[in-house]
Structure 1
């Protein structure tokens, strides 16, 4: 089967707070530089130590230009959470495209997630800080992932690919938790002799995780359910 683009949401149209109008291509490129600068600064220094000056310096953009796009440090932080969320969902969805089964799609989707988090470890720190800086944005981040995930699981259950006894919402949250903590332990925390994190998740770790997930999702026969 072909896995639908279930994790890829439409990108919101950005409207400049200064002009009230959507951005031009040049304006969007400037906004992207600001978000990239914010990603680096928030990841390295945390929300409270970060500043608009540091973000604009990292982005190579004048301080006054910042306010054409965002009106505060919190507003660009929230925009960054939404942007990281959109990009990680895109990475997962792109990886899942063309999968022939739900279990194959799970494997591909997790691979896409780990590739993104290896390249963007800021995702972890930014999301953790969102719990205190902007709880509503934190909830949006997780909800956008779970909503699509849950829909995909329901479809797979109807097709007999996933155990129908499982609650799709609980399962979606559990799977998301597995991916997040495995990535934290074996990508974010892992270091080589030079203190560098790995560029990819160790294959054995990935295979062990997927064996666990495959066993959890696989349909059960009547006899298996009774034991």
Structure 2
């Protein structure tokens, strides 16, 4: 059986199985977020999840396997939290403000995401790269639609998406993880003024 087929074979087939897998992923987020990948353990994950060791191997092959799944899962959580909020934005420029605001909110309640994603660079380079490439791709598509509507400059491209994403990543680290005392709305407004001056519709 190929690695891909084996992974598919571990997909939960019942609601109970889906809940168990979710509990394991949540526990892995806590374990790796607190201890890091190398110090974290499968036994620590199962203990946090309240699962038997055998349950772990029903859904994951190894510590590496659940870490890879966790990176993908956390990337999806960010997307699922941010995207519906962006859909309510007034226009293309406001969408970037809402996007950063939503990300700051997410980071403040999931501070472990930075340690996990950063470690992925050394534990699973493919998952690490996919996290940022997928995020930038969604942002680039959003900017393209904004350009088509006339909300932003017509020459926006991938470079703009990566630049805005890079800004958001470090603002999330500074004002989401290191110190979350300043209102997220203030941070998003200040950053959005830069975005508007940079790619806003030219008069």
Assess same fold via TM > 0.5.
Answer: yes
**What does 1:136-175 align with in structure 2 at a 5 Å threshold?**
136-166=126-156, 168-175=157-164
Other-structure match for 2:166: 177
Output the CA distance in 1 between the equivalents of 2:7 and 2:145.
40
List per-residue Cα deviations over 1:82-117 (Å, max 9, x = no partner).
Answer: 000011011110111232311121111212111111
SS at match of 2:59: coil
Residue 16 of structure 1: how far off its partner (Å): 7.4
Tell me the residue number matched to 2:178.
Answer: 189
Check the 8 A contact 1:19/1:68 in 2, yes or no: no
3-state SS, counterpart of residue 126 of structure 2:
helix
- 1:89 alignment partner in structure 2: 79
Residue correspondence of structure 1 range 45-84 to structure 2 within 5 A? 45-84=35-74
Which residue in 1 is equivalent to 2:194?
Answer: 212
CA distance in 2: counterparts of 1:27 and 1:54, whole angstroms:
20
In 2, the alpha carbon distance for the partners of 1:159 and 1:41 equals: 45
- Structure 1 runs (4+) deviating above 4 angstroms are 15-22
Structure with the higher helix share, 1 or 2: 2
Instruction: Give 1:219 deviation, angstroms.
Output: 1.9
CA contact (8 A) 1:16 1:23 kept: no
Number of aligned pairs? 200
Which SS does the other structure have where 2:129 is aligned? helix
Q: CA deviation at 1:17?
A: 4.6
Q: Is the alpha carbon distance of 1:37 and 1:205 closer, same or farther for their aligned partners in structure 2, counting shifts above 3 Å?
A: same
Deviation string 1:153-194 (CA, Å, 9 cap, x unpaired) is: 11211222111233x21111111111110110122112xxxx
Question: Secondary structure of the equivalent of 1:47?
Answer: coil
Per the alignment, in what secondary structure is the counterpart of residue 50 of structure 1? coil
For the aligned residue pairs, the C-alpha RMSD in angstroms reads 2.0
Are residues 16 and 149 of structure 1, via their aligned partners in 2, closer, same or farther at CA, if it must alter by over 3 Å? same
Q: Are the counterparts in 2 of residues 114 and 201 from structure 1 also a CA contact under 8 Å?
A: no
90, 111, 114: which one aligns with 1:124:
114
Q: What TM-score, normalized to structure 1?
A: 0.82
TM normalised by structure 2 equals: 0.91
